[in-house]
Amino acid sequence: MANQEIKATERFNWPVTILLLLGLFTVLFPLYMTVIIAFKQPSEMTNSVIGLLSFPKEWSLDNFREAMRVTDFWRSLFNSFLITGITMVISIIVHSLMGYAVARNMGTSKFYRFSYFYIVSGMFVPFAILMMPLVKQTAQLHIDNMFGVIILYVVFYMPMNVLLYAGYLKNIPIALEEAAHVDGASTWTTYWKIIFPLMWPMHATVAVLTALGTWNDVMTPLVIMSGSGMTTLPLAQLTFQTQFGTNYNLAFASYLLALLPMLIFYIVAQKQIINGVINGAVK
Amino acid sequence: MRRLLLGLALVLCLSVSAFAAPVEIELVHYKQEAYEIFKQLEEKFNATHTDIHVRFLSPADAVTIMKTRFIRENYPDIIGIGGDMDFSNFQDAGLLADVSDYPGLAKIKPAYIDIINGLKFLPEPGTYGVPFMANAAGILYNRDMFNQHGWKIPDSWPEFIKLCDDIQAAGIRPLYFGYRDTWTTLAPWNALAVGIAPADVCQQVNEGKTTFTEQYREVAEKIHALLKYGEEGPFAYSYNDACTAFARGESAMYTIGSYAVPQILSVNPNMNIDSFVFPARDEPGAQTLNSGVDLMFCVLEECPNKQAAYKVIDFLLEPENIQMYVDAQNGVPCSKGDFRLAPMLDGMKHYIDAGKMADYHDHHYPSEMAVDAQIQTYLLNGDINAFLSRFDSDWVRYNRDLISKVKKYNASH
Amino acid sequence: MKSQNERARTFLMIAVPILLLFFAFNTLPLIKGFMYSFTNFRGYGTKFDWVGWRNYIDLFTDSRVGNSYWFTFKLALVATILINILSLIMALALNAKIRFKSFLRGMYFIPNILGALVVGYIFSYIFTYILPAITSTASMLANKNLAWIAIVIVCAWQSIAMNTLIYISGLQTVPEDVYEAASLDGATGWNRFRYITFPLIMPFFTINMVLCMKNNLMVFDQIMALTKGGPAQSTESISFLIYNNGMGGGQFGFQSANAVIFFIVIVIISVLQLKYLNKKEEQL
């Protein structure tokens, strides 16, 4: 480990670093616009290029404060955290298991091959066609609440995540499990002891993609939970857009606030992706 | 015997609880921007009534929420919606109650009751909503700019064109459109159509009495003629861009409805805006105001206690409550009586008072036909014949079920 | 033999409940939606008529639907290729021994988190005001031959982050010693990528192609944010029609038929894509 660290600091690839820093313009410019709009007042909005790119008259946090008040920020944030967090954990457990079952049997069993294509094809169902029947179904089952939303997310993200896990497992040699089997461990134990930890980089990837999708989603909570009195951050943010007017300044402030937790989560998660134990383990 | 006693006890319990607990009335409306007003009204109502307790909900994307609640069969008691296609569909789906027996209807201007009655797909009797607020569309203008140059409000199409020429000669852009958001094309379209085409043109077409090619040609010609007075390449700019541009004095007039005023004022709070009726017709004094029902209250068929719902609507129709809403939302009340209107409606006031108005034609267009996008296409390519003939052929296609339903209804009545 | 049985039983106990859950909340509503495609149902209420195959017949004679298929496939094909090339390059670069690694990875992920309202506003502004000011041309969004390119650009800008992330996690499965062995053999640069790295991350290429194709075929948010289907109906995607006319309008039955056909089309494309790419993987 110490040896590796020395190697990492030894020589940086500066040309690539510089190119990446230059390319950052494509992200920083829109981000700059977002930030200055979030600080401006509606009366500072213009249609001229210079006017829009100029700094706000004053750097006041009023927009952020107002956006937090309007969206009932802490409560909405808590609900969003809850839904996203639970969905993420269940997805990692359930989808990795399914991915494992499929990946290890697809070559030999028609049933698993079919299951794989059956689940993956579920990804292509337009949500609009499912929406009305799902509203009815969740109401009949009395899960027209947060619980129902989480179940739906677990189902919605299953195709993508099974595809990801199954693909990842192709690169994990089966020999590892067979060795454990010879030692008398059950399949279930082998999975949790050996395979699950090996997939850590993929868990982090799945966590980021699933969390991101649920974090920003408006439609599902809107149609499933409306009337339960619970609100999520994206639902609360709908307030900024009315039929004949949008308060971009408050909206942008609110979007920046909602962006931060995801960004932090991503940075933490991607460390997991890089520090994945696979290299060491496969060796 | 025991069962009887139990039953008695139950009845007793129920009646006691009926005395104790007030009737719950839930109202969901789609004017999310009026959240504060409805909150105040809710508090006021609950403070003054003991027999009824109300909940006024102002959710975002309310129409989607209403539709999903209908699917769940979780009905509110009253819904507040606009007089548009959603109302027609809800009514046709049998969701709304006939409120013809509601005494409060006598307080509403007949013109607005006619408008919502005309929105029903079938010409059957019955009134299915209580109009509360209206909006009006035409032309908004920069009053200070007009005063400064001494421009006069036009009263006919030739005068309007002359005015546009004068403004252009003064080095100012007469109009702003913002046609990238397709729906904005409907604003001048509707305002022209109410002046030129008959109010019931859609119904006449459904009955096979006329065609749009015949009725809409002049409307289409005039909306195209306006293009040269607006910004260059209007299809690049959005509604929001247009509001900002008008607020910043980049044009003297803006072809939009009163509903755009709050967005414009948010950019320029000190702007002095007034409006006038779109001078669509060539002959002076023959104009019609484009006004539709912006918010109406409909009692649901499933509402168990209609009398209680009526009492809530009675409360909302009290003049001081109407005035409160008008002050906050720049609305036009649908009730009879004298109300203080927002200054940007000055130019339209005498039409409102006289009831010289007609509903937005697009309230009768099926939204999936995307007439707004068709108008945008026409304004881009200028092919009037292709536009009108497609209007007629698409109309038949998208309204097939409705047309056959109307025919069947007319045959049996 | 006993352990073989145990293994098979464990897999079944995992797969069956998950398949049932999936059936209940994906396939079952899909079947109901399929039934509505034979009606003129508007999505709510109880009144509707059965219309047989009419919606399907209409679908094949509706020029608007035809145009939306053409637009959607054109966009999806171009965007998918563009996104995959760019995100592969990004992944290799971000996986290299670079300075400020965490910072750069974080920054490049931001486009994926920004909501549609923000992206729509910012890019509308860029296309409407900034680009024309620089190039002194008219806005791309107002030109019915160019508007789709603007949408490709925004789709790429937003989704490169996600595909890069998947490629990066794929690159983690390439053991360090493979590279070491390769550099001993003198394989560097393009050759090392072509003959060593790429074959090893081929499964992730497959995943990205499928996910990317799917996301682009279902493009909706970017269209609502940028053009609302215009100018002159040139950017109406299939999802745009299904959603706007099915949910917003009264065409729920008709658009259900559209959704069913669309679903079948993408499933066929994706299964072919998967089969072809899986075969390639095996060859490598």
Please write the tens of the pLDDT for every residue from B79-103.
999 998 899 999 988 999 999 999 9
- Are residues B122 and B186 located together in one domain of the fold? no
Q: Are residues B119 and B146 in the same domain?
A: no
Break chain C into its structural domains and give their ranges. Answer: 37-283
Q: Is the pLDDT of residue C251 over 90?
A: no
**What are all long-range contacts of A266-271, with beta carbons under 8 Å and residues at least 24 apart?**
A266/A208, A266/A212, A266/C106, A266/C109, A266/C113, A267/C102, A267/C105, A267/C106, A269/A204, A269/A205, A269/A207, A269/A208, A270/A204, A270/A208, A270/C102, A270/C105, A270/C106, A270/C109, A270/C165, A270/C168, A271/C102
Domain ranges in chain A?
81-282
Rounded mean pLDDT, A223-237: 84
Chain A residue numbers with beta carbons less than 8 Å from the beta carbon of C32 are 133
Residues C156-174 have pLDDT tens digits of 999 999 899 889 888 887 7
How confident is the model over B276-320, as pLDDT tens digits?
Answer: 999 999 999 889 999 999 999 999 999 999 999 999 999 999 999
- In this structure, the answer to whether residues B116 and B207 fall within a common structural domain is no
- Assess whether B166 and B199 both reside in one domain: yes
> Are both B242 and B344 inside the same structural domain?
no
- pLDDT tens-digit readout, A3-19: 444 444 557 888 889 99
Indicate if B235 and B373 belong to the same structural domain.
yes
Which of C40, C139, C233 minimises the CB distance to B233?
C139
pLDDT score recorded for residue A185: 84
Query: By CB neighbour count within 10 A (0-12 exposed, 13-18 middle, 19+ buried), where does A69 fall?
Result: exposed
- B94–C45 C-beta distance less than 8 A: yes
Task: Provide the pLDDT for residue B3.
Answer: 54
Q: Mean pLDDT for chain B?
A: 91
Can you tell me the mean pLDDT for B121-145? 93
What is the pLDDT at residue B4? 54
Q: Which homologous superfamily is A81-282 in?
A: MetI-like (1.10.3720.10)
Residue B257 pLDDT exceeds 60: yes
* Res B391 pLDDT > 60: yes
Number of domains in chain B: 2
Percent over 90 (pLDDT), chain B? 72
| Chain A residues closer than 8 Å to C109 by CB | 263, 266, 270
Gap from C157 CA to chain B (nearest CA, Å): 21
pLDDT at C41 > cutoff 70? yes
| Per-residue pLDDT, B98 | 96
pLDDT > 70 in chain A, percent: 92
Above 70 in pLDDT, residue B8? no
Q: Are residues B265 and B337 in the same domain?
A: no
DSSP category for residue B25: E
B235 touches chain C (CB under 8 A): yes
B65 touches chain C (CB under 8 A): no
DSSP state of B345: G
pLDDT at B408 over 90: no
Structural domain of B213: 137-290+362-412
Q: Which residues in chain C have their CB less than 8 angstroms from residue B241's CB?
A: 128
Residue B368 C-alpha, separation from nearest chain C C-alpha, in angstroms = 5
The pLDDT of residue A281: 42
Q: Which pLDDT does position A88 carry in this prediction?
A: 96
**Residue B353, domain member (yes or no):** no
Predicted local distance difference test score (pLDDT) of residue A227: 67
Would the CB atoms of A226 and B263 count as touching at under 8 Å?
Answer: no
A229 to chain C, closest Cα gap in Å = 22
* Complex ipTM value: 0.87
Q: Cα(C60)–Cα(B160) distance, rounded to whole angstroms?
A: 46
pLDDT band at A278 (very low <50, low <70, confident <90, very high): very low
Cβ(B351)–Cβ(B179) below 8 Å = no
Q: Mapping DSSP to helix (H, G, I), strand (E, B) and coil, where does residue B358 land? A: strand
Put simply, the answer to whether A244 touches B263 (Cβ < 8 Å) is: yes
Judged against a pLDDT cut of 80, whether residue C50 lies above it is answered with yes
CATH of the domain at B333: 3.40.190.10
Contact between B373 and C233 using a beta-carbon 8 Å cutoff:
yes
Task: Note the pTM of the prediction, 2 decimals.
Answer: 0.88
pLDDT, residue C44, reads: 81
Q: What is the pLDDT of residue B7?
A: 55
Tally of CB atoms within 10 A around C9: 12
pLDDT at A75: 93
| CATH class held by domain C37-283 | mainly alpha
Is residue A34 over pLDDT 80? yes
Enumerate neighbours of B (3 or more CB pairs within 8 A): A, C
pLDDT band at A282 (very low <50, low <70, confident <90, very high): very low
Contacts of C43 in chain B (CB under 8 A): 67, 71
Note whether B138 and B278 are within 8 A (CB). Answer: yes
Q: Name, in order, each residue with C-beta under 8 angstroms of C217's C-beta and a sequence gap of 6 or more.
A: A124, C72, C73, C76, C238, C266, C269
Is B10 a domain residue? no
Read off the pLDDT of residues A184-205 as tens digits, 9 standing for 90 and up: 888 898 899 889 988 888 899 8
pLDDT at A2 over 50: no
User: How far does CA C185 lie from the centroid of its chain?
Assistant: 39
Subunit contact B236:C232, Cβ cutoff 8 A:
no
